[in-house]
Structure 1
Amino acid sequence: MPPTWPPPGCALPERRAPRASSPSSSPTIRPSGRTAYAVGLDGPASISTIAADLAAAGYDVPALPDPAVVMRQLEDGEAVAELPLAAYRDLFARLPRDFAAAVEAAWGPPEADPAVRDGAFRLAVLRAGNLAVAVQPDRGSRTDRAGDYHDPNLAPRHGYVAFYLWLRHALKVDAMIHLGTHGTLEWLPGKAIALSATCVPRVLAGALPVVYPFIVNNPGEAAQAKRRIGALTLGHLTPPLTTAGTHGATAEIETLLDEFAGAQTLDGRRAGRLADAILDKARDSGLADDCGLSADLSREESLARLDAWICDVKDMRIGDGLHVYGRAPAPHLSDGTLDAICGAAGADRDHVRTALGASADAERHGLLAALDGRFVAPGPAGAPTRGRLDVLPTGRNLYTVDPRQVPTRTAWELGRRTADEVIARYLQDHGDWPRRIVLDLWGSATMRTGGDDFAQALALIGARPVWDTTSARVSGTEILTLAALGRPRIDVTLRISGLFRDVFETQIALFDDAVSRIAARTEEGPDENPLIEARGEARIFGAAPGAYGIGLAHKVVTGAWTDHADFGRHYLSASAHAYGAGQDGAAAPEALAARVAGADAFVHVQDLAGQDLLDAGAFAEHEGGFAAAAALTGNRPALYHVDATRGGEAKVRTLGEEIARVVRGRASNPRWLAGQMRHGHRGAAEIAETIGNLLAMAATSGEVGDRQFDQLFDATLGDDAVRTFMVEANPAATRAAAWSFSEALRRGLWISRRNSVAAGLAELMEQAA
């Protein structure tokens, strides 16, 4: 079956209808308090700018109300379109019989759907001339949104089906602008590629052209949208970046450290008093715990470690607000992004400034060209902060890496060095070589970096890629001798994401082959080669074929868990399908449990500047989920979060260290909060998201302390200005944030230093209702 949209480089024929009479739709995503939530994008503001650009291009689109008004109308049921039940039944009867049966088996008759009132489906739609701004309905149950998001078997509910039937048959749109990363349409049941007429995305969207503004640094999920809904994915800029700087106790201690440095050469007695004051302040504020100051360290060692930790946090790259599609950030907001890109690529600052400035026009023109059915130039997806200047300007039709070239030569060098850093940190912490490591691989990260993380896996087992000299494609691996390696080999287990499974089949086979050859080198002995002891065992695990994600976050946000072991069981169940070694996705729960139980360390590599482990629930699902699974087996492996955001250097931190760093440096930072507050409804949702993700990380990993909750509460709902902003800008997000803090208290994950917090949260939830 041909795709519903041409691949990059092709053009659609000119539309037969003039612009003024051609309706289009722009659906957004709706979790709790998160209407129009898209990664890195201010969806509400982008809706307004897109509408203005359409009007300027000759479309019959009047000016929209203020974004806050649009969001209120969509969320409160003031903006509604209807599809009568009778019309729905008629359209539903024309759909493939097996699909219709699956919908009814899962959800019952259409009149039972919560979107049906007075004999019609009520859909959240705001009409503005020939533009319809619509909220994509929940795919499944509102109480289990996260769990339903990537379910490969669950048919969408009637209200979801009705929405797409209404778009195509009632409104009869010419095109759909799917605003932001990412929705649920491309994750519905069916084949991963080459969809048939009975695959659900094809059933619902048909041949409807899908124009999909997508954050430029997410190639994996952009590829999913291309493969499964034929989307033309238009890359857009990431949010502006800045450095974290210092604030609160960190800023006070930084000032004292500067005074101490000056006093050391002038007044030794005063320097001693300052040193004591610094360490007292560090203990009182929790900074001593954050940076690992132990009683056996000398005063000088403690001060040096504290100074290094503050410098590390101070230089951390954080987002400064959000991107608005087709609009350039204010000049003063571009400096941090320029610093990050030029620092990574060593590029000329004026050249990068020009490329960034051209992105706004390119995004606008790309969208209009797509709606006109004109050619949209292809452009690579990737992270400009990792040296990928070729992704600028944005506004082009995204394409990704050639999987046959992964890992690239550059990625191999970076991955090899990162493997050495992980080993060095483990040696420092434990005094011995690690024998077994579980490495967490995400498809999008592998695409962005050219395979840094996969290269790390090869380096750890003692293999290196071999490239074809003419094509740069990886043709195999060379097994390094123990003499060349200079250390024992490490037995590596890969936990791969669903996108990695779908895209990197060659790498799965490559790793599997290298493992088999290394395990056969029995002359090396098990002390130097632990793979010998487990010859033939599966070492690559992930979700079932066709499934994506782990789905742990929904347990947290719905409160549907009893104890920590629930998360461990869920992780093991969601990850228990083996790949490689002839397994091809076969269920192997005992094999996975054995690998988890025997692991010395777990490693997750983060490659994106401006992103951290409290940005999305997936980090808690993977890192926290593994911690829970290991605890269930009686194991307590080291948990390492590798910061590879600066490309040439990697910093290995424990999971606890990274959480503390992110809470201090970004989540409780007035600079980051001010950036989100510039974006009203969407910014409030981002703040609530961070709070919810801290709860998820606490529940799953056990690595979040009371101080982290205290810091985040004091900076958000405990701060008069931030709390007032959230209540006014997004009451639903305020309720979600208050619920997260309340749930942490109720579950014993947080013991607040103030007794009044629980009552204040309950009152706030009522106020924001």
Structure 2
Amino acid sequence: NDNYPETVAVMLWGLDAIKTRGESIGILLELVGAEPVKEGTGRIVRYELKTLAEVGHPRIDILGNLSGIFRDSFVNIIELLDDLFQRAATADEPVEQNFIRKHALALQAQGIENISARLFSNPAGDFGSLVNDRVVDSNWESADELGDTWQGRNVFSYGRQDKGQARPEILQELLKGCDRIVQEIDSVEYGLTDIQEYYANTGGLKLAAEKQRGKKVSASFVESFSKDTTPRKLEDLLRMEYRTKLLNPKWAEAMANQGSGGAYEISQRMTALIGWGGTANFADNWVYDGAAETYALDAEMAQKLREANPEAFRNIIGRMLEANGRGLWEADEEKLQKLRELYDVADEKIEGVSRFG
């Protein structure tokens, strides 16, 4: 059915699931066409497949990407979901109405084991995609490297049988078929541009899927804290966040007035901006132009940040120069020269030989 994606990646994060009482799992169940069955105490004992007539759409296949906290905190839920995927894969239903079965049969034909494995995470006992480590250290040459890093860290399958078994063939096939990613955001406290985890995981998955598919993969976010839960596109959400936070004069002033901690927060967001450039090719010139004007080329602001936290200020400037070097930002030579001078001044201050005393 051309109207429906065959495979959707769903991000399952632990703290989000706890705070929303499992709304991200609800998204997954709706795609598969299933519902929870509870015992008398209210405990979920099974996820039951609804009939195709009840579902109203084909069963969508799932690539479930588990955060380390979700993986370790919800072992019972993971096993119930794994059981659901196995039953969906063996359901007596036409493959054009059950994409889980369709893809499981294709995997079986390749001689692959555990063909209904759909839940992937980092190695057992370990956390993170390491994409953010590479971005923070500026240790990457191409976007492909970041996608490969994500994929290499997420080939580990979890369920009733698998407890971190590497199943790269299944992950690769799921990525090849994945044409969209869905993630729930549970609060306004931390958005996509505030911390490194979003680009490192969601952005990393997007990049890995695009490499396998050979074309763009869309990412949509459901803001469960809002009355309007219409899925929002990644690019639209990034632009909205940059307007309301990083480039918002009131936000910038509030951060600058918080001293060292505020400068650090600005610095973190500049690093995340590079991360989204690397993983989602986000390269809107106006964002970098605005950041440069706000935090670097405004002499009063630059001095305030430099004095409050020289390391953070150096990173803010350094990320702007890095963005230009990576082709994410087109800036004129005069502006770049000014930024280089500011970087050198920050460097000198950190080394204790600042001409500003």
TM-score (norm 1): 0.43
What is the distance in 2 between the residues matched to 1:479 and 1:610?
Answer: 35
Q: Is the 8 A contact 1:458 1:511 kept in 2?
A: no
Q: CA deviation at 1:641?
A: 2.4
Match of residue 636 from structure 1: 216
What is the distance in 2 between the residues matched to 1:733 and 1:468?
Answer: 53
Q: CA deviation at 1:649?
A: 3.8
Q: CA deviation at 1:581?
A: 5.4
What amino acid is the match of 1:479? L
Match of residue 16 from structure 1: none
In structure 2, relative to structure 1, the CA distance for the partners of 1:649 and 1:475 (3 Å cut) is farther
Q: CA deviation at 1:636?
A: 2.2
Of 133, 142, 150, 1:571 maps to 150
Q: Give 4+ residue runs of structure 1 displaced > 3 Å after superposition.
A: none
Q: Deviations over 1:151-210 (max 9, x none)?
A: xxxxxxxxxxxxxxxxxxxxxxxxxxxxxxxxxxxxxxxxxxxxxxxxxxxxxxxxxxxx
Q: CA deviation at 1:645?
A: 2.5
Q: CA deviation at 1:443?
A: 0.8
Fraction of identical pairs, as percent:
28
Instruction: Give the alignment of 1:551-590 within 5 angstroms.
Output: 551-580=130-159, 582-590=161-169
What is the distance in 2 between the residues matched to 1:731 and 1:690?
Answer: 16
Q: CA deviation at 1:758?
A: 1.6
Match of residue 15 from structure 2: 444
Q: Deviations over 1:112-163 (max 9, x none)?
A: xxxxxxxxxxxxxxxxxxxxxxxxxxxxxxxxxxxxxxxxxxxxxxxxxxxx
Match of residue 466 from structure 1: 37
Q: Is the 8 A contact 1:538 1:581 kept in 2?
A: no
Q: Deviations over 1:600-647 (max 9, x none)?
A: 21112211123211111111101221122123212422121222222x
Q: Is the 8 A contact 1:668 1:716 kept in 2?
A: no
What is the distance in 2 between the residues matched to 1:495 and 1:485?
Answer: 23
Q: Secondary structure at the match of 2:221?
A: strand
Of 98, 112, 115, 1:529 maps to 98
Q: Deviations over 1:694-724 (max 9, x none)?
A: 0111112113322222222222223333222
Q: CA RMSD in A?
A: 1.7
Q: CA deviation at 1:664?
A: 1.0
Of 123, 128, 139, 1:549 maps to 128
Q: CA deviation at 1:748?
A: 1.0
- Runs of 5+ consecutive residues of structure 1 not aligned to the other structure: 1-426
What is the distance in 2 between the residues matched to 1:652 and 1:744?
Answer: 29
Q: Secondary structure at the match of 1:640?
A: strand
Instruction: Give the alignment of 1:716-755 within 5 angstroms.
Output: 716-752=295-331, 754-755=332-333
- Runs of 5+ consecutive residues of structure 2 not aligned to the other structure: 105-114, 348-357
Between the two proteins, the alignment pairs up a number of residues equal to 336
Q: CA deviation at 1:457?
A: 0.8
Match of residue 271 from structure 2: 692
What is the distance in 1 between the residues matched to 2:288 and 2:321?
Answer: 11
What is the distance in 1 between the residues matched to 2:177 and 2:294?
Answer: 40
Q: Is the 8 A contact 2:6 2:177 kept in 1?
A: no
Q: Secondary structure at the match of 1:596?
A: helix
Match of residue 6 from structure 2: 435
Moved more, 456-465 or 551-560: 551-560
Match of residue 594 from structure 1: 173
Q: Is the 8 A contact 2:263 2:305 kept in 1?
A: yes
Match of residue 61 from structure 2: 491
Q: Is the 8 A contact 1:541 1:577 kept in 2?
A: yes
Q: CA deviation at 1:450?
A: 1.0
What is the distance in 2 between the residues matched to 1:651 and 1:671?
Answer: 28
Match of residue 760 from structure 1: 338
Q: CA deviation at 1:557?
A: 2.2
Q: Is the 8 A contact 1:644 1:651 kept in 2?
A: no
Q: Secondary structure at the match of 1:527?
A: helix
Q: CA deviation at 1:531?
A: 1.1
Q: Verify: 1:477 aligned to 2:55, yes or no.
A: no
Which entry has the higher C-alpha Rg, 1 or 2? 1
Q: CA deviation at 1:767?
A: 1.3
In structure 2, relative to structure 1, the CA distance for the partners of 1:519 and 1:537 (3 Å cut) is closer
Q: Is the 8 A contact 2:155 2:168 kept in 1?
A: yes
What is the distance in 2 between the residues matched to 1:574 and 1:586?
Answer: 12
Q: Deviations over 1:12-54 (max 9, x none)?
A: xxxxxxxxxxxxxxxxxxxxxxxxxxxxxxxxxxxxxxxxxxx
Q: Is the 8 A contact 1:642 1:653 kept in 2?
A: yes
Q: CA deviation at 1:528?
A: 1.1
Q: Is the 8 A contact 2:313 2:346 kept in 1?
A: yes
Instruction: Give the alignment of 1:236-385 within 5 angstroms.
Output: none
Match of residue 192 from structure 2: 613
What is the distance in 2 between the residues matched to 1:722 and 1:658?
Answer: 27
Q: Is the 8 A contact 1:604 1:642 kept in 2?
A: yes
What is the distance in 2 between the residues matched to 1:541 and 1:596?
Answer: 12
